[in-house]
A and B are shown apart, each in its own frame.
Chain A
């Protein structure tokens, strides 16, 4: 995912002289090609994220298109006020790319987890919050972000995530991508949970449940049309994310559902719990801890389905 990001960014920077890349002392070797091709438009800003975001706003207010890149918790929590005031308040078209988001760096401990940042950023007026699912979506999301006149947060994984899309999908910020159409259960997945959603859908299909799988990559602006269609069609809508059930995709959909009631329909939010992960764990183990595996999802989904309908 991160290599796809760097390659796409290099291509875009080569084509568009307004693109400037700011890194927070991360991505060793990742941007070598970009540095070689656009030597005057790559800056290692050091371990100083607040300054980096403020600078990005200054670049954007001067007509350039800065892309900031460092580890997700540091480019969000650390410099939230810079994102709010310098970027969002000024509607400065800055792309903020947080890498290793969610539980991608689980083994480094909770300092490196970002399971609350989408909820935090989603509150900021005028900031798009986008969590692509795989390398193909990352490329599309970055192209879309640099076309957007508004600031965008891009939530990235690390490297080696399974590629789901065989070809690059048409990627539009705020427009979810349907991978599989079903009529009974709808799985909405944000970010890199998509392969788990597909596995869970396979298990559900095997039990006779017609299951939709949707890459719900944008939390803001919320794709209300897709939500309306999901809740009209299916009796159970499940949100999946490597993010707290508070404030992220699950939170967004719950808020939407409160304003758009669908009687007899059920929302199940699957994400991380409202706690820090204190046990030593790699990403897969951390997902297991929070019940974010296909088999655990199946159990939870079966538990909420009316028993008469379980086949």
Chain B
């Protein structure tokens, strides 16, 4: 699969997903919409162009793993998995309802394709390192992709893993940081000294690259290149915009918690060019 041969289709996929997330947030009255919108293109590039997955065999031991460590963006993962056929799209309609399969943040084995219960930050990468190590021990060729938020890089566990994975030359492991420059209550570059994330990951021994996190072709190229031949795990610093795709949500951190009203859902629909 190659994104560049279908750029228009995947861009439309991303638009539809964005609208789906907005609808889900509105219907279930759940927050974290800005965080979900910022990682949509990462998920589209990964799930449509990169990951070796079969929705009919979601537990295949040799499948690539994708962990959405920033579990608060779960709507983006759910909508992606549904669109890729892992479970019926109707499940999205009951999102966060009492006893529905899809909770506000993913529970263990809540739905086919969900690899890990996340929501507490800083857990996805250590578990992903374990999975990458398992691939080596079991002599399986699968790759492990872990999507972190920039705020999540405040957690010490991220840096424990960051030191361990290169020591083991876990080249089938890839971290993607959704670097939208905001965390819950402030600028991520100001609350902690994050910059330069690329230099930090490089200094820790990763093959670190910085990309436009909304450029599907670029994301496809760097994610698709894992393992990249360097013998090192790969860190992709994806520069993103929180609330991406909706003008009145972009880079406005109120949308970390705000829930869209009906009129805002409709305005978003128009902006996304969806009928």
Q: Do these two chains interact?
A: yes
With A48-B164, A51-B161, A85-B120 as given contacts, are A64 and B134 in contact (CB-CB < 8 Å)?
yes
Chain A 62-79 interface 0/1 with B at a Cβ cutoff of 8 Å (1 = within): 111010000000000000
B contacts with A, residue count (CB < 8 A): 30
Tell me if B157 and A62 are in contact (CB < 8 A): no
In the complex, whether B271 has a CB less than 8 A from a CB of chain A is no
In the complex, whether B129 has a CB less than 8 A from a CB of chain A is yes
Tell me if A54 and B127 are in contact (CB < 8 A): yes
Residues of chain B contacted by A86 (CB below 8 angstroms): 123, 126-127
Q: Which of B108, B123, B125 has the most CB atoms of chain A within a 10 A radius of its CB?
A: B123
Residues of chain B contacted by A45 (CB below 8 angstroms): 164
Tell me if A62 and B138 are in contact (CB < 8 A): yes
In the complex, whether A53 has a CB less than 8 A from a CB of chain B is yes
The chain B residue with its CB closest to the CB of A64 is B134
Tell me if B123 and A82 are in contact (CB < 8 A): yes
Alpha-carbon distance between A59 and B126 when the two chains are bound, in angstroms: 10
The chain B residue with its CB closest to the CB of A57 is B127
Tell me if B157 and A51 are in contact (CB < 8 A): yes
With A43-B168, A51-B157, A89-B108 as given contacts, are A63 and B130 in contact (CB-CB < 8 Å)?
no
Residues of chain A contacted by B128 (CB below 8 angstroms): 58
The chain B residue with its CB closest to the CB of A84 is B120
With A48-B164, A89-B108 as given contacts, are A54 and B61 in contact (CB-CB < 8 Å)?
no
| Interface residue tally on A, bucketed by range | 20 to 34
Tell me if A61 and B116 are in contact (CB < 8 A): yes
In the complex, whether B156 has a CB less than 8 A from a CB of chain A is yes
With A62-B61, A62-B131 as given contacts, are A41 and B117 in contact (CB-CB < 8 Å)?
no
With A41-B137, A54-B123, A89-B117 as given contacts, are A63 and B161 in contact (CB-CB < 8 Å)?
no
Tell me if B163 and A58 are in contact (CB < 8 A): no
In the complex, whether B135 has a CB less than 8 A from a CB of chain A is yes
Tell me if B137 and A46 are in contact (CB < 8 A): no
In the complex, whether A90 has a CB less than 8 A from a CB of chain B is yes
Tell me if A54 and B161 are in contact (CB < 8 A): yes
In the complex, whether B197 has a CB less than 8 A from a CB of chain A is no
Tell me if B160 and A51 are in contact (CB < 8 A): yes
With A20-B137, A45-B164 as given contacts, are A62 and B120 in contact (CB-CB < 8 Å)?
no
With A46-B164, A62-B135 as given contacts, are A56 and B157 in contact (CB-CB < 8 Å)?
no
Tell me if B164 and A51 are in contact (CB < 8 A): yes
In the complex, whether A203 has a CB less than 8 A from a CB of chain B is no
Chain B 225-247 interface 0/1 with A at a Cβ cutoff of 8 Å (1 = within): 00000000000000000000000
Residues of chain B contacted by A50 (CB below 8 angstroms): 122, 126, 156-157, 160
Q: In whole Å, how far is A68's beta carbon from the nearest beta carbon of chain B?
A: 11
Tell me if B131 and A61 are in contact (CB < 8 A): yes
Chain A 18-41 interface 0/1 with B at a Cβ cutoff of 8 Å (1 = within): 001000000000000000000011
**A residues 133-186 touching B (CB-CB < 8 Å):** none
Partner of B116, one of A51, A53, A55, A90: A90
Tell me if A55 and B123 are in contact (CB < 8 A): no
Residues of chain B contacted by A48 (CB below 8 angstroms): 160, 163-164
Chain A 88-126 interface 0/1 with B at a Cβ cutoff of 8 Å (1 = within): 011100000000000000000000000000000000000
Tell me if A55 and B137 are in contact (CB < 8 A): no
Q: In whole Å, how far is B115's beta carbon from the nearest beta carbon of chain A?
A: 8
Alpha-carbon distance between A55 and B164 when the two chains are bound, in angstroms: 10
In the complex, whether A81 has a CB less than 8 A from a CB of chain B is yes
**B residues 123-175 touching A (CB-CB < 8 Å):** 123, 125-138, 156-157, 160-161, 163-164, 167-168
Alpha-carbon distance between A52 and B135 when the two chains are bound, in angstroms: 17
Residues of chain A contacted by B137 (CB below 8 angstroms): 20, 40-41, 59, 64
A residues near B (Cβ < 8 Å) are 20, 40-41, 43, 45-46, 48, 50-64, 66, 81-82, 85-86, 89-91
CB<8 Å pairs between A and B, sample of 12: A51-B161, A55-B127, A55-B130, A55-B161, A61-B116, A61-B131, A62-B130, A62-B134, A66-B130, A85-B120, A86-B123, A89-B117
B residues near A (Cβ < 8 Å) are 61, 108, 115-117, 120, 122-123, 125-138, 156-157, 160-161, 163-164, 167-168
